[in-house]
Structure 1
Amino acid sequence: MRIAFLGPVGTYGEQAALRLCELEAIAAPQLLPQVGIRAVVKALAEGRCDAAVVPVENSVEGGVTACMDALWAHPELRVGRALVLPIRHALLGSGPLEGVSEVLSHPQALAQCSQWLGDNLPSALQLPTSSTADAARMVAGSRFRAAVASLQAAEEHGLEVLAYPINDVVGNSTRFLLLRQGERSLNGPMASLAFSLHANQPGALLEALTCFAHRQLNMTRIESRPSKREMGEYIFFVDLELPSGQEPLLQALDQLRPLCEHLAVFGAYPITQLDQA
């Protein structure tokens, strides 16, 4: 099975892809690294792979906007499983810590280590990259550059571990989704959907959310993203717990659908929480 992930090798996305393959009993997967989260989703949408693994939410920095935008653009995709992966960042380099003047990483990783970087490398320039492992690749051999990435990335790119762990919050974790094509299931402990409303008027969102509240469906996440069509127009992403099976969800969707301009249901799925390292 061909599985796309945010590359290159050594990313947390690769770690998540391998663990999700274990959970799904996928033997000998062919992992296909992509440049950028949108490229990961696009590879699946265009049929160049059989599944895709993307980060959707971090416990410190919140939703991954590139993932939400990509999902909204491809409502035909479904979520097969979710994995919550503990994140332990390291500062990697080839020179001494005191010589570091530039720190490279994915913007989310830099944000998750902002306090540590401010305290220990206050003068270092922070430069964004497409992934943590790409940052590790770019700093290899440099005496003044360092990367925020995983211990695995240090091994992959021959870097020294200058400091570990450096994430500001001990419980830092990221939720990854395994995406697939095909018919979606509504059976599972968690469901994800997104919708836009017909009109921006008082009480419109409240009316939509009442569809869930009346059926005792707990929202574990709600986030908004601009529609990119006009100012003040938003898309809402919602995750729901389904303790009583799919029937309450089906009823809520029947009530919600007439209120929406567009409704994308990404399905229900199992979710696995890995223990903190």
Structure 2
Amino acid sequence: MTDQKKSLAEVRERIDSIDKTIQELISERATWAQEVAKVKGEGLSAIDYYRPEREAHVLRMVVDRNNGPLSDTEMVRLFREIMSSCLAQEDPLKIGFLGPEGTFSEQAVRKHFGHAAYGLPLGSIEEVFQEVAAGHADFGVVPVENSGQGMIQVTLDMFLTSDATICGEVELRVHQCLHSQKGVLDVIKRVYAHAQSLQQCKTWLRVNLPDVECIAVGSNAEAARLARHTDDAAAIAGETAGRVYGLTTIARGIEDRADNTTRFLVIGRTLFPPSGNDRTSLLVTVNDKPGALYDVLSPFAKHDISLNRIESRPSHTGKWQYAFFIDISGHIHDTALQDAVKEIESGVASLRVLGSYPVALP
């Protein structure tokens, strides 16, 4: 027993020593971050120091160096928080997202920008675009696609009229829960949730609550806020929203797909340089002629560029006219991509580069 206690004491002493070294190194890193601010000059705000391509490069090196036992996701999260705190020493970034507090959009903000950034909850996706355009938010985070339900059309439509630039992407594993005030399934008569969440959980609802009224609201956090005021209502939301609004969790993991993931876009006002592993999003409006879409896509194959995604939406410029949202591998500064875009531009009604940005990290 004495040897075991001595061994445990030695282990704890070693951990304490490592903690001290880690703290000293974090402080040293923060000091060097201040030096970056001095080099760039006085009077700048956090957005002037924020370099997503540099941050992505640093985090990829974290993943490359990681040999466990912590997962890549955990290591990235830890380093993201260190960088977030270092950046926010003078003036934290202001990030708009679909509120209120407790939404999956807020979780995406924290995953991408860390907890030192200032979150600005807003009432709609449209408002996120507006606040970024007006400069009231440095960046915005908006949902664009769910692995089971497809594209978020309101987000795509905003790019038809907004000048926002895509600066990054976030992939968030979404776990849906059922919360209520009493925490009893039998008394539930109404379920509040965002329309997407109702779709993501429709099988579970059909099996477990076949007779309840399902009511779509603006966000899952709004659903939780409504459910806390009545005994016979429940909300579908993440665990965070349940805690924020003081609800009891009835069931966890009620999403129909085990891989339920939502992709978010980071929107801003600037196109950033390449990070080394990037994606480019284009908005293309085609002329009404035979082979129009082929003429758009063939230059990518010609220049050996991978097409990741294509989605069409009414262009709002005329009846039966469509705009195509296209995601491709690479950065717009890449020579091959520039050549492909030049070939496409000559044969389409319009082409706009929505952004080139680092591919999402774990």
CA shift for structure 1 position 141:
3.0
Once the two structures are superposed, what CA deviation does each residue of 1:59-108 show, in whole Å capped at 9, x if it has no partner?
A: 1111111111112211x322222111100000111132121111111111
Give the corresponding residue for 1:63.
151
The TM-score normalised by the length of structure 2 is 0.71
In the alignment, the residues of structure 2 paired with residue 259 and residue 115 of structure 1 have an alpha-carbon distance, to the nearest angstrom, of 46
In 2 relative to 1, CA 229–245 (structure 1 residues): closer, same or farther, beyond 3 Å? closer
Give the corresponding residue for 2:51.
none
In the alignment, the residues of structure 2 paired with residue 268 and residue 182 of structure 1 have an alpha-carbon distance, to the nearest angstrom, of 10
Give the corresponding residue for 1:103.
191
| Match 2:180 to one of 93, 102, 110 | 93
CA shift for structure 1 position 260:
2.3
Secondary structure in structure 2 of the residue aligned to 1:143: coil
| Match 1:84 to one of 156, 171, 190 | 171
Give the corresponding residue for 1:135.
223
In the alignment, the residues of structure 2 paired with residue 270 and residue 174 of structure 1 have an alpha-carbon distance, to the nearest angstrom, of 17
CA shift for structure 1 position 262:
2.2
Secondary structure in structure 2 of the residue aligned to 1:136: helix
Q: Is the CA contact (8 Å cut-off) linking 1:79 and 1:184 kept in structure 2?
A: no
Secondary structure in structure 2 of the residue aligned to 1:240: strand
Residue 242, structure 1, aligned to residue 330, structure 2: yes
Q: Is the CA contact (8 Å cut-off) linking 1:77 and 1:266 kept in structure 2?
A: yes
Secondary structure in structure 2 of the residue aligned to 1:161: strand
Give the corresponding residue for 1:259.
347
Give the corresponding residue for 1:194.
283
Question: Comparing both chains, which one has the higher relative contact order based on Cα–Cα distances under 8 Å and sequence gaps of 6 or more?
Answer: 1
Q: Is the CA contact (8 Å cut-off) linking 1:55 and 1:64 kept in structure 2?
A: yes
Q: Is the CA contact (8 Å cut-off) linking 1:85 and 1:273 kept in structure 2?
A: no
Q: Is the CA contact (8 Å cut-off) linking 1:113 and 1:166 kept in structure 2?
A: yes
In the alignment, the residues of structure 2 paired with residue 146 and residue 137 of structure 1 have an alpha-carbon distance, to the nearest angstrom, of 10
Higher percent of residues as strand: 1
Give the total of aligned pairs.
Answer: 268
In the alignment, the residues of structure 2 paired with residue 229 and residue 80 of structure 1 have an alpha-carbon distance, to the nearest angstrom, of 26
Higher percent of residues as helix: 2
Larger Rg: 2
CA shift for structure 1 position 201:
2.4
Amino acid in the other structure paired with 2:127: A
Correspondence list, 1:1-277, <5 A: 1-22=93-114, 28-74=116-162, 76-95=163-182, 96-185=184-273, 188-197=277-286, 199-242=287-330, 246-274=334-362
In the alignment, the residues of structure 2 paired with residue 185 and residue 207 of structure 1 have an alpha-carbon distance, to the nearest angstrom, of 28
CA shift for structure 1 position 243:
9.0
Once the two structures are superposed, what CA deviation does each residue of 1:2-32 show, in whole Å capped at 9, x if it has no partner?
A: 110000000010011011113xxxx732211
Once the two structures are superposed, what CA deviation does each residue of 1:93-137 show, in whole Å capped at 9, x if it has no partner?
A: 113212111111111111111111111111111111111111111
Once the two structures are superposed, what CA deviation does each residue of 1:29-52 show, in whole Å capped at 9, x if it has no partner?
A: 221101111111111012211110
Residue ranges of structure 2 left out of the alignment (5+ in a row): 1-92
Residue ranges of structure 1 left out of the alignment (5+ in a row): none
Q: Is the CA contact (8 Å cut-off) linking 1:82 and 1:269 kept in structure 2?
A: yes
In the alignment, the residues of structure 1 paired with residue 335 and residue 308 of structure 2 have an alpha-carbon distance, to the nearest angstrom, of 19
Q: Percent identity?
A: 32
In 2 relative to 1, CA 123–228 (structure 1 residues): closer, same or farther, beyond 3 Å? farther
Q: Is the CA contact (8 Å cut-off) linking 1:4 and 1:40 kept in structure 2?
A: yes
The TM-score normalised by the length of structure 1 is 0.91
In the alignment, the residues of structure 1 paired with residue 348 and residue 131 of structure 2 have an alpha-carbon distance, to the nearest angstrom, of 28
Secondary structure in structure 2 of the residue aligned to 1:70: helix
In the alignment, the residues of structure 2 paired with residue 230 and residue 148 of structure 1 have an alpha-carbon distance, to the nearest angstrom, of 39
In the alignment, the residues of structure 2 paired with residue 145 and residue 157 of structure 1 have an alpha-carbon distance, to the nearest angstrom, of 14
Secondary structure in structure 2 of the residue aligned to 1:263: strand
- The Cα RMSD (Å) is 1.8
Secondary structure in structure 1 of the residue aligned to 2:344: helix
Q: Is the CA contact (8 Å cut-off) linking 1:81 and 1:178 kept in structure 2?
A: yes
